[in-house]
Amino acid sequence: MSPPLPMDSVASALVALADNASEEMREHLFRKAYKPGQHLFIAGDPANHLFLVLTGRIRIYMLDPEGHEVTFWHCHPGDFFGIAEIFGSVHSRRGCAACCEVSEVLHIHHFGLPQILAQSPDMAFKIMAQLSDRLRLVEGSLLDVVTSPAGRRLAQLLLRLAKDVSPECDGRYILEERYTQQEMANMIGTSRQTTSRLLADFRRRGLISIQSGRVVLERLRDMYQSV
């Protein structure tokens, strides 16, 4: 389980609001604990809540036409998710959100959102900043699919996933999730066979290793140079 991170001012303010809310407001703002593998929502669910991760880690993914899970990103303490459908014109979920580990999440119902934003105006700026970061991530991924060879796209994916990981004492980076070859292939827009061949090449060159099913970045600097 990821260790709890110090809460930023926005998260702290929202938790204080939730803990001191009136009985009526608690219908719109409350904390809830989840177990590993438990879903907060799946595709097609009504989009009634905005969420804020307090502890743990949440995976955001969609299913492709063949039913394969395509992971977009992981949300960590201080991250909002479930944003797009709350503020957009379509109010049902397109993707899924599942817990990777024991997690606590703050639920913010859209009916109470105007009042909560009035009491915590910095929340709006943080939501916009996180939306902007994710838009840049999607734009970069689309550009990579069009312009970069598969090997470079895979290296960039591994580097992006390593950003949320603290290095080991020996400088290696162990990815938190166990990604299947098919899942990585879906994330970079190529086949599982191509991904398997590229991973084998990275291992042969000493850039990565596999430890208990997880990818380990052995030489981060050389991986950066390879892209």
CATH number of the domain encompassing residue 77: 2.60.120.10
Report residue 213: phi and psi, to 5°: 85, -5
Share of the chain above pLDDT 90, in %: 16
Does residue 101 lie within any of the structural domains?
Answer: yes
The domain boundary, picked from 86, 118, 143, lies at: 143
Does residue 111 lie within any of the structural domains?
Answer: yes
Does residue 27 lie within any of the structural domains?
Answer: yes
Does residue 130 lie within any of the structural domains?
Answer: yes
> Are 85 and 114 within one domain?
yes
> Are 76 and 179 within one domain?
no
Total number of domains constituting the chain: 2
Amino acid at 114: P
DSSP string, 23-91: TTGGGTEEEEEE-TT-EEE-TTSB--EEEEEEES-EEEEEE-TTS-EEEEEEE-TT-EES-HHHHSS--
Does residue 2 lie within any of the structural domains?
Answer: no
> Are 112 and 177 within one domain?
no
> Are 164 and 125 within one domain?
no
Q: What is the CATH number of the domain that holds 204?
A: 1.10.10.10
**pLDDT under 50: residue ranges of the chain:** 1-6
Does residue 4 lie within any of the structural domains?
Answer: no
User: Helices 181-188 & 122-147, crossing angle to 10 degrees?
Assistant: 90
> Are 37 and 60 within one domain?
yes
**How far is residue 196's CA from residue 148's CA, in Å, rounded to a whole number?**
18
pLDDT of residue 3: 45
pLDDT of residue 77: 87
**How far is residue 41's CA from residue 29's CA, in Å, rounded to a whole number?**
17
**How far is residue 34's CA from residue 3's CA, in Å, rounded to a whole number?**
16
Does residue 38 lie within any of the structural domains?
Answer: yes
pLDDT of residue 5: 44
Domain that residue 64 falls in: 9-143
pLDDT of residue 45: 92
Token pair 């060159």: residue: 205
> Are 157 and 138 within one domain?
no
The answer to whether 61 touches 71, Cβ cutoff 8 Å, is yes
The domain boundary, picked from 124, 143, 162, lies at: 143
The answer to whether 220 touches 162, Cβ cutoff 8 Å, is yes
pLDDT of residue 146: 57
Helix (H) or strand (E) holding 197: helix 192-204
> Are 121 and 45 within one domain?
yes
**How far is residue 49's CA from residue 28's CA, in Å, rounded to a whole number?**
9
**How far is residue 164's CA from residue 122's CA, in Å, rounded to a whole number?**
24
> Are 119 and 177 within one domain?
no
**How far is residue 20's CA from residue 16's CA, in Å, rounded to a whole number?**
6
Does residue 186 lie within any of the structural domains?
Answer: yes
The domain boundary, picked from 118, 143, 168, lies at: 143
pLDDT of residue 140: 66
Residue 165's SS3 state is coil
> Are 69 and 94 within one domain?
yes
Cβ burial of 139 (10 Å; 0-12, 13-18, 19+) is: exposed
